[in-house]
A and B are shown apart, each in its own frame.
Chain A
């Protein structure tokens, strides 16, 4: 078992080495780093003010309370933060394929997926994780359910699964770069925008929209179902339990899409 895990450990090691180099490059511009962190905070405060103002007018949205919606919102931003901080590289794939720079990755003796994922760092992600984490903590404080070790463990698993789903969606959709030659990520951006629907409880949408964010692109498992589980909301909460399975499924699909695209890859200019 230990011997079989060694290649995996090596990949993780290489991934963090690459990421570390990217971080150094960004930290060289200290002012930029500070600006990115502050701007991420401002973006979140603006979003929080919006939810807060809406709920100042009404007690609940379709039965969903203020803190439940804040939790969904915080999960969106924490997962987005994890995506930018550790896996920003997926957003560069289109450009790499378009310019032919991707060739370099195929020449190195490391999985191209790891190289792509570690190809960039978005430090605004750190700001998103911190402020999103604070919002999550405050909304958890308003959950009227007794905390058990099992429930606390489930919280960790749910957040990790939500982040995995987000990254898997980015990876899978960025693989479209192998088919569509464009200097920037059109399809990933388009799908990313679908995530707007996950900011609010899915019960406010029509059946069609619900089907898209639950089944087609499982954004609802990033925010809605974990929140429903943690707040112990009848009927919806139970579905939250399969979030880890959805995460594994998404990851398999994302990696499959990437590898499938990779087989089709022809370098530009040959």
Chain B
């Protein structure tokens, strides 16, 4: 209980930082509207050219898919490899080492803190885009919605675990900008955030299915739409759990050897 309070206050502090920089944060969020709107126009033309149905999806379903991808990408943006790189380069990690907190849990608390704020703004932006483009598909079954919330939470946890692992590279190099861009590009394509994985050719889909990324966007989005049958949904959510646990553990493992390698500026 005492432990929990410790991490809760870290999360709260992280949320407060966002409020201090809210103008910049909101500009970033609103800036991402253009990307979503461009995607909507693009897919609109494609779907209307095919009488609103591309085989796997109808246009209202596709709109829902795009907004879910946007929503999931909008969460935990405050936590990234670049920030971790800064903390390591400027020696702030040394203070963290001296504190009676678990490094990974502390990072998680800080990453989760701003989520309510990110969620609210992403939902507002999403609602505006949805209305402007004539509405989106809703789950036919409330159970799908409940499973979606679970799957989205797992996706966000997995995203944290993955970024945490990648950010450990900062102990060995200072080029975190490039690492982060590459990670985001790979994640965008293989998570299904840019395009649903069913549209991939077989060989590309085979690659996507063995990577952790599909659990970050595709699984929650398809759960929402209810396009997978019961056993498949259970399997896909199971895969999400497995990846999240595996990468959280990997992160802890790498951290342990990273601390030994660390050289911090000024001694």
Contact = CB atoms under 8 A, between A and B. Distances in A.
Closest 6 CB pairs of A and B: A32-B175, A39-B182, A39-B178, A193-B31, A35-B175, A46-B185
Contacts of B50: 58
Contacts, number: 111
A111 B18 CA distance: 37
B181 interface: yes
A197 B34 contact: yes
A242 to B, nearest CB: 24
B24 A35 contact: no
A176 B35 CA distance: 23
Interface of A: 29, 31-33, 35-40, 42-43, 45-47, 49-50, 53-54, 56-58, 61-62, 124, 182, 184, 186-187, 189-190, 192-194, 196-197, 199-200, 204-206, 209
Interface stretch (B40-48, B71-79, B220-228): B40-48
Interface of B: 23-24, 27-28, 30-32, 34-35, 37-38, 41-42, 44-46, 49-50, 54, 173-175, 177-179, 181-182, 184-186, 188-189, 194-195, 199-201, 204
| A contact patch SS | helix
Given A49-B204, A124-B177, 6 more contacts: A61-B49, A124-B178, A193-B32, A194-B34, A196-B35, A205-B41
25 contacts: A29-B174, A29-B175, A31-B175, A32-B175, A35-B178, A36-B177, A36-B178, A38-B182, A42-B185, A46-B185, A46-B188, A46-B194, A50-B194, A50-B195, A53-B200, A54-B42, A62-B49, A124-B177, A124-B181, A190-B31, A193-B31, A196-B34, A196-B38, A205-B41, A209-B41
A87 B199 CA distance: 38
B204 A31 contact: no
Contact of A42 (B35, B37, B182, B200): B182
B179 A39 contact: yes
B189 A35 contact: no
A32 B177 CA distance: 9
